[in-house]
Structure 1
Amino acid sequence: MVDDKNNDNIDIFIVEDDFTLADEIKISLEKYGYKSERSSNLENITEEALLLNPKLILMDVNLPFRDGFQWCSEIRRFLKVPIIFISSRNTDMDIIMSINMGGDDYIIKPFSIQVLIAKVQALFRRAYSYNNSSSPSIKSLREVTLNMADNTVMYHGNIIELSKNEFKIMNILMSKAGTVVSRDEIMDILWSTDEFIGENTLTVNINRLRSRLKSIGVENFIKTKKGQGYIIDEY
């Protein structure tokens, strides 16, 4: 049984375009205590994975929009959770590709549910027995995801890398979503190094960050509260 200490997250994310098989896997996993969800949008698997923040992913290789190897490579930029590929493709090249793209195991269809469960249990033991921190910290709000590991922002599959100051501004505003953060508070956070951050410099950084967000389709995310500071609404 899995000790699910964080009820906000799921244990296993199932990415499989055969929904009948996916539901069968989900039911079997839940019998063993694994809180599971199957993908409901095969066009935006990375975004769904980030929202669910699973502890393990079961990834089919043959998917309708991009194959599982490509999704794995993209997900690996944000999450370091174990990924098990499941596929009817059984050549050595497919298995080698799965390893090269960041997969942790490979199960060939058709497979026994008992074999799947055994592999899942083994990966959970290896990944979480000695380390409870399963993935780099991420913040997600209104489909905008901030990755703490590499200072990137993703929105609808578009990714930009932020500067040090842009990242700090996004981090504090997303951490306090729904609350106005004063300019003084932001400047105190930015001025944690020897670099001087004044009123004009902060304004330039905020405007540049807004422009960068707009370039990936995020508009009106950071709002100005005149005489108070800045806010990102929760909804």
Structure 2
Amino acid sequence: MDQLIGLVEDDPNIRDIVEAYLKKEGYEVEAVDTAEKAWEIFEQEAPDLWVLDIMLPGMDGYEFCKRVRQTSEVPIIIISAKDDEVDKILGLELGGDDYLTKPFSPRELVARVKRHLKRWQVMQPEQDTDTIQAGDLQLSESERRAYFQGAEVDVTTKEFELLKILASQENRAFSREELLVRVWGDDYFGSDRAVDDLVKRIRKKMKELPIETVWGHGYRLRGPSS
């Protein structure tokens, strides 16, 4: 899956240019003009990196950065017209990983995005690839077994695959179309109602599993940060 970049910039010209350059490099981009909208994205999709302007209407970039750092160490690149040393220090002290002063080269920003994403991936702890743990749900890939609240639950192959996708990225909202392709394959020509039916069966087997419906979009597995 492509890496997701959160872009927070209230200047539409800068936002459009940066978004275009990032997409050209193959990144998915969620571009918004306020920190309040960015916070909604953070809670739903958890981008892999943020490009964050400081001077924003409403909540400013400093406050947004501070909020993100309460629960996440995801890379944050600050872009700002403020070039005073005190502003740079404040941005870095509040959790920014990099500080780029406007005007800047979009290519330089892309280079910094690549560098920070690479460093972030290296820093991630090595995970047990066989076991996926998400709250009270535990999945064993080698045995193809599912456990909920300590008890084994009989699941079908497709139920297991759907659970694995949702549990691997808690709080991320997956569209029905994406789930359909990843569970049934891209050569499946049936209705995306098949996803709804699969979720319904899982909910019946695991009544307290927090699979949430994202209306008009799809589903997510609620994690501790939401």
TM (norm. structure 1) is 0.53
Could you tell me which residue of structure 1 aligns to residue 212 of structure 2?
234
Match of 1:172 among 133, 136, 150: 136
Q: CA RMSD in A?
A: 3.0
Match of 1:73 among 58, 62, 66: 66
Could you tell me which residue of structure 2 aligns to residue 39 of structure 1?
32
- Identity in percent: 31
Partner of 2:115: helix, strand, or coil?
A: helix
Unpaired runs of 5+ residues, structure 2, are 127-132, 140-147, 152-205, 214-226
Is 1:53 aligned with 2:14? no
Partner of 2:79: helix, strand, or coil?
A: strand
Shift of the 39–22 alpha-carbon distance from structure 1 to 2, 3 Å rule, reads same
Map 1:144-163 → 2, pairs under 5 A:
none
In 2: Cα distance, 1:47 partner to 1:78 partner: 14
In 1: Cα distance, 2:85 partner to 2:54 partner: 14
Shift of the 133–29 alpha-carbon distance from structure 1 to 2, 3 Å rule, reads farther
Could you tell me which residue of structure 1 aligns to residue 161 of structure 2?
none
Partner of 2:23: helix, strand, or coil?
A: helix
Unpaired runs of 5+ residues, structure 1, are 1-5, 135-147, 149-167, 176-184, 190-227
Could you tell me which residue of structure 1 aligns to residue 89 of structure 2?
96
Is 1:27 aligned with 2:20? yes
- The Cα offsets for residues 58-88 of structure 1, whole Å up to 9 and x where unpaired, read as 0000010111011001011222111000000
In 2: Cα distance, 1:122 partner to 1:232 partner: 35
Once the two structures are TM-superposed, the CA of residue 234 in structure 1 deviates from its matched residue by 2.6
TM (norm. structure 2) is 0.55
